[in-house]
């Protein structure tokens, strides 16, 4: 018999959906029914999401200064709130948990108005706008990189780390294996759930600058946006690269486990997954992030020695080629970075977050929860 329904709310990007998915597995193992509220963007992730049911409620972000656009967004949010209230009244969840992104706002606002226990999980080192809007209303805040007892709401903030998917936990069992000079070198390049046009342009040029012996060693997995696939396919053919390119890899956990080096953006889920598996990385924060959250995430891993952070403006194809030349000839350095990244990982984050969810569902205070943890 189910202990009750837990309603998870997440924006439709991998960075929001993946941690929610990891928590969902843990909650189902503990006897809860799980429902997900998200938006249509999450369809490519939600197919494997362990939810009894997936719901879509109207939502919008207020990103425009146009009075007409703002009015339209406010109307959509109001409609979403009404829909979320009806959904919560029907499901009667024991707790509602938000993972950020504007689709979380209506269900979390509705929950707090209806007196249903609610909490949020912030994946990044800097709190996003949706979670900022909700933080004062919820009973608890779990943080992937937020400092324990820090920020604007120290009394209800707990650093849990970011939950990672079961596939990542499995991949973490694979020890890092160095690639010695002359041996194949597995390079994984990706830009988060939306891909990264910059990597599609920079990587082929960088690889063309490598010496033949190094280029022949490379085995590349690169996530490429659909609109860039034609360009990348041409470059792969011209350079005779040993490369797998696709807009999305369903087996990315296994590919990360086999990687000797990762070059990627520094979204919270990405940084957490790399550290749990324990792989050396070159992190290139998305330069247009509103809150510079990716730079803060990257800095947290770089501080442990598990990654090197390079701003996109400073990462020319020539620099990428230079970095690859250096690290492909220095497997010991990469092994040290891999060990440092693994040390920083929080593989038990999903269990800790599930503990926190159960505490809030039981209407215990964060002080009580922290006391039991101690």
Going by C-alpha positions, the residue among 226, 333, 352, 337 that lies closest to residue 283 is 337
Output b/e per residue, 57-66; b: 16+ Cβ within 10 A.
bbbbebeeee
Query: Which residue, chain included where needed, has tokens 């919560």?
Result: 88
Question: Which residues are documented as binding site for UDP-N-acetyl-alpha-D-glucosamine?
Answer: 13-15, 124, 165, 193, 294
Going by C-alpha positions, the residue among 149, 55, 134 that lies closest to residue 97 is 134
Residue 355: is it exposed, middle or buried by C-beta count within 10 angstroms (0-12/13-18/19+)? Answer: middle
Going by C-alpha positions, the residue among 248, 258, 112 that lies closest to residue 192 is 248
Output the DSSP codes for 95-134: EEEE-SSGGGHHHHHHHHHHT--EEEEE-SSS--HHHHHH
Query: Which residue, chain included where needed, has tokens 């190094």?
Result: 214
What's the rounded Cα separation, in Å, for the pair 172 and 308?
21
- Cα–chain-centroid distance for residue 169? 15
Query: Using an 8 Å Cβ cutoff, are 315 and 284 in contact?
Result: yes
What's the rounded Cα separation, in Å, for the pair 246 and 235?
14
Q: Which residues pair with 319 in a beta bridge?
A: none
Cβ contacts of residue 289 below 8 Å, gap of 6+?
A: 295
Question: Which residues are documented as binding site?
Answer: 13-15, 124, 165, 193, 294
């Amino acid at each position: 018999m189910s202990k009750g329904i837990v309603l998870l709310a997440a924006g439709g990007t991998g960075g929001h959906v993946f941690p929610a998915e990891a928590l969902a597995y843990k909650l189902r193992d503990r006897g809860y029914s799980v429902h997900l509220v998200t938006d249509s963007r999450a369809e490519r992730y939600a197919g494997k999401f362990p939810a009894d049911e997936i719901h879509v409620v109207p939502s919008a972000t207020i990103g425009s200064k146009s009075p007409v656009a703002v009015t339209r967004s406010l109307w959509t949010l109001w409609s979403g709130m009404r829909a979320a209230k009806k959904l919560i009244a029907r499901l009667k969840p024991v707790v509602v948990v938000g993972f950020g992104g504007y689709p979380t706002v209506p269900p979390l606002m509705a929950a707090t108005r209806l007196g249903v226990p609610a909490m949020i999980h912030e994946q990044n080192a800097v709190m996003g706008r949706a979670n900022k809007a909700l933080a004062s209303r919820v009973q608890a805040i779990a943080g992937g990189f937020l400092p324990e007892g820090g920020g604007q709401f120290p009394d209800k903030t707990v650093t849990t780390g970011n939950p990672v998917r079961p596939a990542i936990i499995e991949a973490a069992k694979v020890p890092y294996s160095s690639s010695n000079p002359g041996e194949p070198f597995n390079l994984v390049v990706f830009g988060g759930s939306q891909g990264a046009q910059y990597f599609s342009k920079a990587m082929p040029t960088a690889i063309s600058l490598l010496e033949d012996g190094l280029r022949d060693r490379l085995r590349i997995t690169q996530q490429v946006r659909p609109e860039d696939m034609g360009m990348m396919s041409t470059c792969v053919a011209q350079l005779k690269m040993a490369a797998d390119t696709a807009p999305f890899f369903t087996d990315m956990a296994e590919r990360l486990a086999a990687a000797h080096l990762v070059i990627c953006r520094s979204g919270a889920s990405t940084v957490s997954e790399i550290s749990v598996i324990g792989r050396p990385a070159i992190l290139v924060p998305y330069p247009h992030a509103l809150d510079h959250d990716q730079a803060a995430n990257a800095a947290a891993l770089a501080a442990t020695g598990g990654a090197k952070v390079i701003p996109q403006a400073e990462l020319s194809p020539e620099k990428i080629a230079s970095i690859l030349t250096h690290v492909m000839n220095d497997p010991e350095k990469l092994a040290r970075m891999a060990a440092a990244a693994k040390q920083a990982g929080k593989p038990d984050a999903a269990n800790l977050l599930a503990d926190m969810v159960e505490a809030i569902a039981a209407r215990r205070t964060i002080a009580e929860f922290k006391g039991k943890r101690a």
